[in-house]
Each structure stands twice: as structure tokens, then as C-alpha cells.
Amino acid sequence: MNQQVFRTLAPGATLGMLGAGQLGRMFALAARAAGYRIAVYGGGPESPCGQVSDLCFDRSFDDQQSLREFAAAVDVVSYEYENIPLSAVEYLESLVPVLPDSRLLKISQHRLLEKRSLQQIGIPTAAFTEIRNADDLRRGLQEFGGQGILKTATLGYDGKGQLRIGGEIDAEQVLEGFAGVELILEEIVPFQLELSVLAAGFAGGQTRHFTPAVNHHVNHILDCSRTPDERLSPSIVAEAGAIATQILEHFGVIGVFCVEFFLTDSGRLLVNEIAPRPHNSGHLTIEACAASQFEQQYRAICGLPAGAVTAARPAVMLNLLGDHLVHATPDRWREVFAMTDVHVHLYGKLELRAGRKMGHLTALADDVDAAERIARAARKALGWAGE
Ligand code: AMP
């Protein structure tokens, strides 16, 4: 790793962000509060991150001249989504520190590599097999009791690029829909719930992780995160934290990353995937914790000490998709802002679209169920009839 990363970057330094969405925006807002400057790559001044950045490079990831200009303008680089072309990150890495470095990024971009790398270090995942042809698919399905989830190895998110198979299929026909892409078949994990741990590694070997969040998805998109959650026993909480720390130490991560888990019906923890960046399930740390996932991110990449991960109060985050905001009139917003335990985040996206993450609400209360009730009442107050 580039030793320059251990240099402390004091406020006033310019932090580069690859990707211009909401995660970059919340990072920029946190870092700017401490006096850092932000240069964003991959979006213009109207993008969620560009709106709150000092410099925008609205350029392509395969334009090396632009990447060189960006590297010259920043002191360190981080990123907000894992599907940034690896070649761009590796090129930047030769010019300026990029954190987390490309080792963890590379495996998180490829489901097969990710699962193999985790199993090599003894971390359990769902059973899986590589699918190169129809025979592989038939064999894999037979091995997993006639059902499974077929996923593209790369570029999948929020359930995109996935097909749940249960029952008789024509393997050749199924694969026609995925022509030319690498595929993985996973067993269908019978799980009680899904949880995630946000962890951070710092120069000099400090590590931190937040209390796990229990996550509920609707239509494959995260809807609700709760922490702490009484359905997680102390031993599961400890095990999830230990697995995140093991990954962190194995890959020498400096920066923030998220580990998503299944808690199976039989009580086992399996890692589903790793995201080498802050995560939607960690947004509630902004209000709930002494230093949020975004503060940990700028602290880590600037060579600063870890912030405290202690939570002041139980918290629940509900996403605000385009669907939730169709009826949000000023009077309805007024009602939500009158709920003083509710915190509103909107990402500055100009166009409301169904399924698009427009923002989120975080509610704090003395217990997590009360926080969820308050958050749901707030989303309902916005005119969303689905609560
Ligand atoms: P992913 O893109 O892998 O995070 O998958 C999106 C969602 O699909 C997960 O959050 C789970 O709810 C579900 N899912 C993915 N893989 C599996 C699996 N092997 N078994 C059961 N459910 C899964």
C-alpha cells in the first residue's frame, strides 16, 4: 500500500469522491462540516454530491487525462459505489492514495471472487457454484434441491441481475437471457432476518464497528433498518462484529465498509456480500451515533483517529423512494418537521421516480419499536398509504 496514506490530512485538504450520488453527498456534508474541501468525479454540479462539492469533474471513468487532472486536484480519494471501473481506480492509485484500496474493491465487484475469498479465510457464505453452461445450471440446481438464485457475478445491485429459480426450467432458455455474462448460482438461504455491520479501519491499526442493523427489504430495495434489535442475541452481535473485523484485518482496509449477513433459520450467520463504502443501512448513524459512518470515512482516509461509534439512542431508518413522496405537499412536510424525533434527509435529486432513492427518515426513541412507530407515522404523514 502507498505509504503516503499514513500522512495526516488536516482540515483544508481536498478529498476526492468517485461517484456523485447520495453516499458521496452525505460524505461531503460530513467532511465539509470539519473544513475539508470536496472534489467529486462522475457527476456535475446538479448531481446529489456535486451540489455540495467544491469541484466537479463531470467526466468519464475511462478518460485517463481527466483522471490525472482529478488526482492532481485532490489529496486522497474514496468512492461511494463499488461498480466504479477497477481500471480507473487502479490508475488513480498509481497517482494518489485511494481508500479503501483496490484489493477489497476488486473482490466486492465479483460475487464468485468474493465468496471464494471469504471461504478461504473461513467465513461462511451461502453455498454457490459457478455457471458456465446449461449443464452447470442443471447440476447446480440438483445440488441445491431443485432451486436456487441465479445472479450475474458482476454489476448486480438491489436485486438487479438476479433470477430466483424453483421448479422445472429449460436451462438453455434461462441462460439465453444472460448471454455473455459470468454467472453464479446460490442456494436459497432460509433466513430469519438480514443484518449488516458497518466497520472502519484506520491508519495505525485502529478498528471500529457499529452495532449491527437489522434490515428489511421491499422489492429487493432496503426499506427499513433498525438498531439495536432485540432479535439479535449478544452472541450473534459479537460474531457479526468479529467477522467484520476479520475481513477488515485480512484485507488491511483503511476506510469504511459494510458486511451484509443472513441469519439463517437454524441460527447461523452467513455473509451475503461486502460493500467497500458506507451503506444505506448505516445512514441512521448520522443521528444515532457520536461519529457517523461518513465521519468515520473522512477520518479514516485522512489518517485521523477513529471517531466513537457509541449510540445515544435506538434508531430506525426508513427509505424515501419516489413512490413515498408523490403526495408530499408542503403541509405534509410541515407535519413531519413537527415530529422532533424525526430527522429528514433528501438527496437533492431533481426527478421523482418510482423506486428511486430520494431520501430517508431517521427516528430516535427510547426503544427501537417506538422509533419504528414514529418513523412509520412520519412516512405516512407524507401521504404514503402503504404503512
Ligand atoms: P443481493 O443483491 O445479493 O444483496 O440480493 C438482494 C436480496 O435478495 C438480499 O438482500 C436477499 O433478501 C435476497 N437474496 C439474495 N441472495 C439470497 C440467497 N442466496 N438466499 C436467499 N435470499 C437471497
Say how many domains are in the chain. Answer: 3
| Percent of the chain at pLDDT exceeding 90 | 92
- What was the pLDDT predicted at 159? 66
For ligand 1, what atom is nearest to the CA of residue 188? Answer: 20
Asked which of 80, 98, 116 is the last residue of a domain, the reply is 98
**For the segment 9-37, what is each residue's pLDDT rounded down to a tens digit?**
999 999 999 999 999 999 999 999 999 99
For residue 5, is pLDDT > 70? no
- Range name among 19-23, 101-105, 241-245 with the lowest pLDDT average: 101-105
- Pocket of ligand 1 contains residue 127 by CB under 6 Å: no
CATH number for the domain that contains residue 82: 3.40.50.20
- Pocket of ligand 1 contains residue 188 by CB under 6 Å: yes
- What was the pLDDT predicted at 155? 82
Residue 107 lies in a domain: no
What is the arithmetic mean of pLDDT over 82-108? 95
CATH number for the domain that contains residue 372: 3.30.470.20
Residue 106 lies in a domain: no
The residue range of the domain holding 242 is 191-381
Residue 90 — pLDDT band, cuts 50, 70, 90? very high
- The Cα-based distances of 309 to 21, 162, 284, 286, 287 in angstroms read 24, 34, 12, 11, 11
Q: Which of 158, 191, 272, when mutated, tests ligand 1's pocket best, judged by the most ligand atoms within 8 Å of its CB?
A: 272
Please check whether residues 160 and 176 belong to one and the same domain: yes
- Range name among 61-75, 144-158, 232-246, 264-278 with the lowest pLDDT average: 144-158
Please check whether residues 73 and 132 belong to one and the same domain: no
Q: Whose CA is nearest to atom 19 of ligand 1?
A: 188
Please check whether residues 164 and 210 belong to one and the same domain: no
- Pocket of ligand 1 contains residue 149 by CB under 6 Å: yes
Please check whether residues 76 and 132 belong to one and the same domain: no
The model carries a pTM of: 0.95
For residue 4, is pLDDT > 90? no
Please check whether residues 180 and 201 belong to one and the same domain: no
Average pLDDT over all residues of the chain: 95
Q: Which of 253, 256, 259 lies closest to 296, judged by CA? A: 256
Question: Grid cell 422509533 — which residue?
Answer: 371
Q: Whose CA is nearest to atom 5 of ligand 1?
A: 159
- What was the pLDDT predicted at 6? 65
For residue 1, is pLDDT > 60? no
Please check whether residues 228 and 288 belong to one and the same domain: yes
- Pocket of ligand 1 contains residue 229 by CB under 6 Å: no
Q: At 379, which amino acid appears?
A: R
- Pocket of ligand 1 contains residue 101 by CB under 6 Å: no
Please check whether residues 171 and 276 belong to one and the same domain: no
Residue 338 lies in a domain: yes
Please check whether residues 282 and 142 belong to one and the same domain: no
